Structure 1
Amino acid sequence: MRAAEIQSPGRPPSVVDRDAPVPLPGETLVEVRAAPITPLDLLCASGTSYFGLPRTPYVPGVQGVGTVGGRAVWFPTSAGMAPGDGSMSEIASIPVKDLVELPDGADPAAVAALGLSAVAAHMALTWRGELVAGEQVLVLGAGGVVGQAAVQLARIAGARRVVAGARSPAARERAKRAGADAVVALDTDDVAELAARFAAVADGPVDLVLDPLFGPPAAAAARTLRTGGRLVNLGSSAAETCPIDSSTLRSRSLRLLGYTNNELSPEQRAAAITLIAEQAVLGRLAVAHEIAPLGDAESAWLRQADGSATGRIILTF
């Protein structure tokens, strides 16, 4: 079988011929149809993540979509985080308990593009953020996959208004296409200026902020929250620290919450993937993505890493 293989940390994968995997007890073979190149894949393969140096050679890919006995399934892997191979191969051996059956009509590439990023958006909004229908939501980093999904999932959950923030013109256009009511440029680190921009387009105080950025954008977003408002952080794309001021926190009794997919039970993750796939089939949920054949894995990996891709790149088989 053909597979993308990381042969040395910090280098892009090469496409190689490998023997098909032999399932361990409790595993089954999945014929892979689509595998996304995600930030976690890039981080693990770099050898600089907190998981340490990956054991090489290995097949990357922390999630994928394929078929088992004619059934379409989504599946996760621990490739790059623990010894073993991932989704970027024609065949993968996956624990049966981790498979999530997809609804009829699910497009493999579309579901792969959403995947765990959409799970994070959905669960951070609804489970951690406790979004209630009729509330106003501010989504930072709304041009990324998490942000695009969050804009749409907030609307699906009943948000009355969704304000988005994104840095580049291309990212702002993706946020607009995702359905944001208003899009704010995050092209400055001036907290007061960003807060004023958010306030100018929000319909009064915001109830919930979804924040994959941290840094100055999060500090500015916190100033838009109502008394008792919530900010859920699930990333640090802008900075590892945040200049949020104590007076903002105390005067409004704000709730700052952290979120990670690692906290989810397998049942929670499966339920979230099922909801996401169902909404994708209904045409209510989609994110910008590109499709590339497995043979282009090396160039696709490099484009995803340097930011020149127009969206999440999905390897197809």
Structure 2
Amino acid sequence: MRAAEIRTAGQPPVVVDRAEPVPGPGEVAVRVTAAPITPLDLLCASGTSYFGAPATPYVPGVQGVGERAGTPVWFATAAGMRPGDGSMAEHAVAASADVVVLPDGADHTLVAALGLSAVAAWRCLTGTGGLAAGETVLVLGAGGVVGQSAVQLARVAGAGRVIACARSEAALDRARSSGADGTVRLEDGEDADELARRLSAVAGPVDLVIDPVCGLPAAAALRTLRPGGRLVNLGSAAGEVCPVPSALLRSRSLRILGYTNNELSAGERREALLTVVDQAVRGALTVGYERVPLQDAARAWRRPGRVVLVP
């Protein structure tokens, strides 16, 4: 079979011929039809993640979509986090507990593009963030897959108003077409107070912030929260540090919460994934992505936006 192989941490994969993997105890074989390149894949392959340097060579890909004995499935792997291979190949193996049967009619490449990013958006809204019906949600990083998903899923989850914040006008156009009630574009050179004023002018008092970016946008978003408001962080695309005045936290009794998919049980992940897939099948959820042949994995490795590798 053909597979993308990380040979040196920090370097793009090389597409090679490999023997098909053989399932071990508790594992099943999957013929892969779509494998996304995600930020977690890039982080693990860099050798700088908190999981440590990966054992090389290995096939990257922490999730994928394919067929098991003719049945469509989504599956997860620990590639790059623990020794073993992932989804960026024509065939893969996965633990039985990490395989989810998909409904007929699910678009394999769209499900792969959404995958765990959309799961994270859904769980941040309905689990960690505790969204209540009618509340106002501010989504930072609305151009990424988590952000795009959160804008659409917030409405599904009962939000009264949804505000999207992103750096590009194209991302904001997509958010508006996906139902955002208002949008705010990040501007170079402004400080947190200036951005907070612009966010508040569009959003008003905010109940819940979905934050995949951290940094200055998160610092500004905290200033828009009403008393008792929550910010759920699940990434650091805009910076590892978010300066937060103590008086702001205390005076409004704000809550800053962290989220990771790694804390989900297999059952919780399955339930969230099937919710996401159901919304996609209904036409209520989609994201932008690019289909790229597996053979071109190296050239697509650091390409902006979500890339889905297909055989």
Query: TM-score normalised by the shorter chain: which range applies?
Result: over 0.9
Corresponding letter in the other structure for 1:255: R
Aligned to 1:194: 195
Write the distance in 1 (CA, Å) between the matches of 2:14 and 2:52.
21
**Shift, 1:171, TM fit:** 2.9
1:194-222 Cα distance to aligned partner (Å, 9 max, x none): 111111111x3111111111122111111
**Shift, 1:177, TM fit:** 3.3
**Shift, 1:176, TM fit:** 2.7
Corresponding letter in the other structure for 1:53: A
Write the distance in 2 (CA, Å) between the matches of 1:31 and 1:104.
17
RMSD over aligned Cα atoms: 1.1
- In structure 2, stretches of 5+ residues that fail to align are none
Q: Which deviates the most, 173-182 or 83-92?
A: 173-182
Q: Does 1:36 align with 2:36?
A: yes
Corresponding letter in the other structure for 2:164: A
Write the distance in 1 (CA, Å) between the matches of 2:15 and 2:282.
35
**Shift, 1:124, TM fit:** 0.7
Write the distance in 2 (CA, Å) between the matches of 1:179 and 1:142.
12
User: TM-score, normalized by length of structure 1?
Assistant: 0.95
1:60-98 Cα distance to aligned partner (Å, 9 max, x none): 000000111111111010101111000011111111121
**Shift, 1:22, TM fit:** 1.1
Q: Percent identity?
A: 66
Residue number among 292, 306, 309 corresponding to 1:312 in the alignment: 306
Write the distance in 1 (CA, Å) between the matches of 2:36 and 2:185.
28
**Shift, 1:175, TM fit:** 2.7
Aligned to 2:92: 92
Give yes or no for contact 1:168–1:187 (8 Å, CA) kept in 2.
no
- Residue 274 of structure 1 aligns to a residue whose secondary structure is helix
**Shift, 1:301, TM fit:** 1.0
Write the distance in 2 (CA, Å) between the matches of 1:178 and 1:289.
15
Q: Does 1:213 align with 2:213?
A: yes
**Shift, 1:179, TM fit:** 2.4
- Residue 302 of structure 1 aligns to a residue whose secondary structure is coil
Aligned to 2:242: 242
Aligned to 1:110: 110
**Shift, 1:37, TM fit:** 0.4
Corresponding letter in the other structure for 1:268: E
After superposition, residues 235-314 of structure 1 pair within 5 angstroms as: 235-303=235-303, 307=304, 311-314=305-308
**Shift, 1:21, TM fit:** 0.8
Corresponding letter in the other structure for 1:15: V
Moved over 2 A (4+): 168-179
**Shift, 1:125, TM fit:** 0.8
User: TM-score, normalized by length of structure 2?
Assistant: 0.97
After superposition, residues 11-26 of structure 1 pair within 5 angstroms as: 11-26=11-26
Write the distance in 2 (CA, Å) between the matches of 1:262 and 1:100.
17
Q: Does 1:81 align with 2:88?
A: no
- In structure 1, stretches of 5+ residues that fail to align are none
- Residue 126 of structure 2 aligns to a residue whose secondary structure is helix
How many pairs were matched up? Answer: 310
Give yes or no for contact 1:59–1:79 (8 Å, CA) kept in 2.
yes
